[in-house]
Structure 1
């Protein structure tokens, strides 16, 4: 199984505009430029990592080494993140027959305040 090569290193430069912000997520140790890096934002602790409860998603083409994903016009609030490298570009986290991810992923362990 692949090791978890992604760590959503959050450099939190927020550019405030009225009551919204821009969140820049830097994902380091991206293993290849194949596919996309996808970020899912969650607003509720109880529904974290449940796909049907994703607040907003954003992606960027993968770039070996480091990929930056920019999420603009984000209302001020608390968020948790799930990030994965969609290596084959099918916009899904591929798993094996027992549900273990086959693509690198990472996620926050706490809510973030913007």
Structure 2
């Protein structure tokens, strides 16, 4: 029985990977901050989600990079073009001064999109292309 359990554990597939491509970056400055979460209450700011995947990607690598999910599930991605590399989104009178984007590229009206409009199911490796938006 222990041998069967060991073989089952060893044969299980690794968690899925999301290949991400960012388009529409307005400059080659800074980095892209990436947030991947399954928690609707923590979207789009992953700081309240200890289980989220957060990473910074060099702008030069933002055309194609991998985000490794902890497990299969429903995820949403938020990205920020942190042009001055201060590890946060800068704002001016409540408007973002830096670019941002979301998985599934939902329409942006007032404020960030809902988790539901940006979320997607991950059961196997897949790709998301995110178009950056700039308000200023």
Establish whether TM, by shorter chain, passes 0.5: yes
Q: How does 1:3-22 map to 2 (within 5 A)?
A: 18-22=13-17
The secondary structure found in structure 2 opposite 1:46 is helix
The structure that is helix-richer by fraction is 2
Determine which of 93, 103, 106 is the counterpart of 2:101. Answer: 106
Aligned length: 96
Q: How does 1:1-114 map to 2 (within 5 A)?
A: 18-54=13-49, 55-63=52-60, 67-96=63-92, 98-108=93-103, 109-114=117-122
Q: Which runs of 5+ in 2 are unaligned?
A: 1-11, 104-116, 123-136
Contact 1:58 1:70 in 2 (8 A): no
Contact 1:22 1:74 in 2 (8 A): no
Flag the structure with larger Rg: 2
Q: Which runs of 5+ in 1 are unaligned?
A: 1-16
Matched residues in 2 for 1:73 and 1:59: separation? Answer: 15
TM-score normalised to the size of structure 2?
0.61
Contact 1:39 1:69 in 2 (8 A): no
Q: Any runs of at least 4 consecutive aligned residues in structure 1 with deviations exceeding 3 A, and if so which?
A: none
The secondary structure found in structure 1 opposite 2:90 is coil
The structure that is strand-richer by fraction is 1
Matched residues in 2 for 1:39 and 1:87: separation? Answer: 14
Q: In angstroms, what is the RMSD of aligned CA positions?
A: 2.2
